[in-house]
Amino acid sequence: MKANDNKKDNEIPEIKETITILKTEYEALKAKFEEKDLFYDKYIRAHAEFENARKRIEKDKADSLKYANECFVLDFLPIIDSLEISEKHIKEAKDFLAVQEGVDMIHVLIQKFLKDIGVEKIKTVGEKFDPHFHEAVETADLKDKEEGTIVEELKSGYTFNGKLLRPASVKIVKK
């Protein structure tokens, strides 16, 4: 093992040859060496702060993803409450018209909830077939309707903030 292998980072390396320099030059070199230590210390601290900030941002991002649907769930809870109340009344009900009205009210609540979060039902019956929003699964030969007109909705389609979630399955006129 060489003598230089055991030196510390902040020690001045051993000089094997004698060099003569002015005292002012020596003091300037010594000051630069000390300044290097300060810069190194600042670098280490800045790097540690950066790592801490990165970890904090990753944690915040994970928490945001974990709780992103919290508002969605809170807004949906009244619908669940209404369904639970309707189940209780269905078991006791003798007037099925009242049950139908209750189910219709829940359906209205669900539609309002979906609209509030940006989900909209795609228009179908009476509309012109649009392959971007509709999926033709059946055809009908009707003489009184124009070809490509939607005559029946088999499954509703929806958009979310203008983006297609699911196309509507429809029956169209084909001659």
Q: Which tens digit of pLDDT belongs to each residue from 134-167?
A: 999 999 988 888 999 999 999 999 999 999 999 9
Same domain, 99 and 50: no
Q: Which of 34, 68, 102 is the last residue of a domain?
A: 68
Residue 154 lies in a domain: yes
Residue 5 lies in a domain: no
Residue 62 lies in a domain: yes
How many Cβ atoms from other residues are within 10 Å of residue 86's Cβ? 16
Same domain, 78 and 109: yes
Same domain, 82 and 34: no
Same domain, 134 and 172: yes
Block residue for tokens 């228009």: 123
Number of domains in the chain: 3
Plot region of 128 (φ>0 → left; ψ -120 to 50 → alpha; else → beta): beta
Same domain, 64 and 74: no
Residue 102: give the domain boundaries. 70-116
Residue 14 lies in a domain: no
Same domain, 122 and 161: yes
CATH, residue 145: 2.30.22.10
User: C-alpha 168: how far from its chain's center?
Assistant: 25
- Please classify residue 172 by burial: count the beta carbons closer than 10 Å to its beta carbon, then call 0-12 exposed, 13-18 middle and 19+ buried: buried
**Nearest in space to 117 (alpha carbons), one of 79, 84, 156:** 79
Judge whether residue 12 has pLDDT over 80.
no
Angle, vertex CA 73, rays to CA 116 and CA 124, nearest 5: 40
Residue 80 lies in a domain: yes
Residue 75 backbone phi and psi in degrees, to 5? -70, -25
Would you state the pLDDT for residue 175?
80
Would you state the pLDDT for residue 3?
46
Same domain, 146 and 157: yes
Residue 13 lies in a domain: no
Same domain, 133 and 146: yes
Amino acid at 115: K
- The predicted model gives 39-60 an average pLDDT of 96
Instruction: Give pTM, 2 decimals.
Output: 0.58
Residue 89 lies in a domain: yes
Q: Which of 43, 68, 93 is the last residue of a domain?
A: 68
Residue 11 lies in a domain: no
Judge whether residue 18 has pLDDT over 80.
no
Chain segment 86-118, per-residue pLDDT in tens: 887 787 777 778 788 888 999 999 999 999 889
Would you state the pLDDT for residue 93?
73
Helix, strand, or coil here: 119? strand
